[in-house]
Amino acid sequence: MHGETSSPATTYPPGWRKPAWWPAVSRWQALAALISSVTVLPLLVIALSFADVNADIWAHLSEFVLPRLLANTALLLLGVGVGVLLLGVPLGWLVAVHEFPGRRVFNWALMLPLAMPAYVMAFTQIGLLDFSGVLQSWLREVWGSSAWFPPIRSRGGVVLVMSLALYPYVYLLARDAFASQGRRALEAAQSLGLSPWQGFWRVALPMARPWLIGGVSLALMEALADFGTVSIFSFDAFTTAIYKAWFAMFSLSSASQLSSLLVLLVFALIWLEQRLRGGRAYHAGRLAQPQSRLPLHGWPAALACGFASLVLLLAFVLPFGQLLVWVARVWEADLDARYIDFVWHSLALAIMAAGLVTLCALALSYAQRRDPSPTARLWVRLATLGYAVPGTVLAVGLFIPVAALDNLLIAWLGAALPEGTTAIFKGTLAVMLLAYLARFAAVGFSSVDAAMQRITRSQEETARSLGVAGFALLRRVHVPMLRGGLLTAVLMVCVDVMKEMPITLMTRPFGWDTLAVRIFEMTSEGEWERAALPAVALVLVGLLPVLLLARASSHTGAHR
């Protein structure tokens, strides 16, 4: 390996002369392009829908559907963006830098809402808080009226529930950020006469920016691609219009066109953020030492504990409690030996996908570091867009080229195949894993790439001057420093894959039903109580990676 300077390294096979029209492609760009092709291909299939524009449907949508939808989308982005920051940042700050009663439990417990699909949480929240729900019924019995109670099925309700469901992305990344900053910067700030409060605002928060942006963009992409939660709230969003065009007006092409616009919107937001970020650096002086935390006493300790408890109560304990009440009613009839298979399938898929996605995220992040050219950056960004597409649309975008490839191959191989062959690649685990990569690359990437920015060029230079280069450089210098980020990536992808439904439904091999598929079977006919059983199992299985990683990473500052 050579030529690993900060300028793009362009090497060609010996004896091959570059034609004038051939763009200069570094091997890092090629790597990024290879990985992101898995995402770009379905996005292209979706964009190809513009070949068939139904003017009639578009005229209708733009007159009666789009105005409301755009206003709602803006509200969703703003509300959820602010909501997840207000919940995730203070919690990450408290847990990473302070010591207060219960901190060790909150440290892992605050990520639990991640293991519950957002629409399941939404449904339990409505069951508790709506007019016919438990709380308001009780209020009416006691006071005779619950008219003063704010309606949960409202715009505010959607924003609240989504913020509660999605804040763990920000919490996890903020915690990593604050823990990896080390105390030094804060101590320096204090020696310059800043109060701890000023230190937070003027030093810690700006230094955590890539993590916070990463977390917020994950939350917002998921909010934009969400269909389950918004439909439970009868909230008109991009996805509801997409599914209206597809399922109700039978126009998959109009649905794909709307999805393309959604992807464009996300791409524009990412580009804008990068422009604003400019060339700032976020290095830490050295690998963060396991630091001593700032002990809180008295009121501050009570407030910290109270705030964390309240969030945990609303985002996890109450909805999970409701699920348990339902499970108590149905488990005897519904729990059977097949659950062993469901759990095993969910776990196996989650672990394989998490490994693949994290590896690719590391490759993307490292490629971008070795080659900071706009081309490499573009490929890396494209790879992360799959998270913003509604799952069902992405699933179809993925399935169409795979099925087309199979059709070609079957025609080509023809008689050599066994009689009645209908599939070569489709219905294999490999396709399923690539589909998860297309969907969740963003989840792995935001965590790994934020951590990558803590590593200074001088640290790399030093290692290189000692003769460490190429893959060894990555393995011996970067990976140890990225450990926290890599573990967070594995954890988030694991849990996200377990919850994933549309891609799993579309690409699973015969008989590979998972817990998420089980939830679908129940909810598709409105049997929410019976869906509680697989949902609870999903949360419990989701706990496994959480606990394992908490143990495995007990030596890195972030996860202690």
Partner 1 sequence: MKHALLALATLSALSAVAHAEEVVVYSARNEQLIKPLFDAYKKETGVDVKFVTGQEGPLMARLKAEGANTPADILLTVDAGNLWQAAHEGLLKPVQSKVLDANVPAHLRDPKGQWFGLSVRARTIFFNTHKVKPAQLSSYEDLADAKWKGKLCLRTSKKVYNQSLVGMMMADIGPVKTERVVRGWVDNLATDVFPDDTKMLEAIAAGQCDVGIANTYYFGRLMEKNPSLPIGIFWANQQGSGTHVNVSGAGVTRYAKNEKGAVRLIEWLSSEKAQNLYADVNMEYPVNRKVNVDPVVAKWGDFKHNYINVAKAGELQAEAVKLMDRAGYR
List residues near partner 1 by CB under 8 A: 57, 60, 64-65, 126, 130-132, 137, 151, 153-154, 231-234, 236, 240, 243-244, 246-252, 392, 395-396, 399-400, 403-404, 406-407, 409-410, 413, 416-428, 502, 505-506, 508-510, 513, 517, 520-522, 524-528
In the complex, minimum distance from the CB of residue 289 to partner 1, in angstroms, rounded to a whole number:
50
In this structure, the dihedral spanned by the alpha carbons of residues 545, 548, 550 and 555, taken in order and rounded to 10 degrees, is -140
The type of residue at 356 is: L
Whole-number Å distance between alpha carbons of 451 and 43: 28
Give the shortest CB-7-to-partner 1 separation in angstroms: 38
Q: State CA 263 to chain mean position distance.
A: 15
Helix spans in 192-317 (H) = 196-199, 205-207, 209-225, 228-232, 238-243, 252-277, 298-312
Q: How far is the CB of 72 from partner 1 (least distance, A)?
A: 11
Tokens of 411: 């025609």
Residue 384 and residue 442 in contact, taking contact as beta carbons nearer than 8 Å: yes
Comparing CB distances to partner 1, the nearer of 12 and 64 is 64
**Residue where the block lists tokens 């169409």:** 400
Q: Name the residue with tokens 């963003």.
A: 442
First to last CA, the chain: 37
Based on CB atoms, which residue is closest to partner 1, 318 or 505? 505
Nearer to partner 1, 20 or 416 (CB): 416
What does the block give as tokens for 183? 């105390």
Please identify, using beta-carbon distances, which residue of 465 and 524 lies nearer to partner 1.
524
**Strand runs labelled E in 407-467:** none
Provide, rounded to whole angstroms, the least separation between the CB of residue 65 and partner 1. 6
Which tokens in the block code for residue 273?
């953020």
- The nearest distance, CB 50 to partner 1, in angstroms, is 17
Closer to partner 1 at the Cβ: 59 or 276? 59
Nearer to partner 1, 3 or 156 (CB): 156
**Could you tell me the smallest distance in angstroms from the CB atom of residue 427 to partner 1?**
6
Say how far apart CA 537 and CA 540 lie, in whole Å: 5
Q: How many residues does the chain have?
A: 560
List phi, psi (to 5°) of 133. Answer: -80, 180
Smallest gap from Cβ 436 to partner 1, in A, equals: 16
Strands 98-99 and 294-295: parallel
For partner 1, the closer of residues 3 and 509 by Cβ is 509
Least Å from the CB of residue 526 to partner 1: 5
- Quickly tell me which residue has 């399941």 as its tokens: 120
The Cα angle at residue 116 between residues 114 and 121, in degrees rounded to 5: 115
| Residue 110 to residue 309: CA distance in whole angstroms | 9
- CA dihedral sign, ordered 308, 311, 314, 316: negative
What is the rounded CA–CA span in Å between residue 207 and residue 197?
A: 15
How far is C-alpha 361 from the geometric centre of its chain's CA atoms? 13
Q: Which is nearer to partner 1, 346 or 392 (CB)?
A: 392
Of 66, 377, 394, the C-alpha closest to 260 is 394
Q: C-beta of 395: minimal distance to partner 1 in Å?
A: 6
Beta carbon nearer to partner 1, 186 or 522 = 522
The smaller minimum CB distance to partner 1, of residues 98 and 155, is found at 155
CB of residue 421 vs partner 1: minimum separation in angstroms? 4
* Closer residue to partner 1, CB minimum distance, 154 or 274: 154
Closer of 154 and 554 to partner 1 (Cβ): 154
| Shortest spacing between CB 534 and partner 1, in angstroms | 12
The DSSP result for 350-377, as a single string, is: HHHHHHHHHHHHHHHHHHHHH--SHHHH
| 410 versus 544: smaller Cβ distance to partner 1 | 410
Least Å from the CB of residue 234 to partner 1: 5
- Sign of the Cα pseudo-torsion (152, 116, 101, 451, in order): negative
* 65's tokens: 């559907």
- On whether the CB atoms of residues 83 and 159 are closer than 8 A, the answer is yes
Could you give the CA distance from residue 560 to residue 541 in angstroms, rounded to a whole number? 21
List the structure tokens of 530: 């019976």
Q: Between residues 316 and 528, which has the closer beta carbon with respect to partner 1?
A: 528
Dist. CA 240–CA 270, nearest whole Å: 23
In the complex, minimum distance from the CB of residue 516 to partner 1, in angstroms, rounded to a whole number? 12
Closest approach of partner 1 to the CB of residue 394, in Å: 11
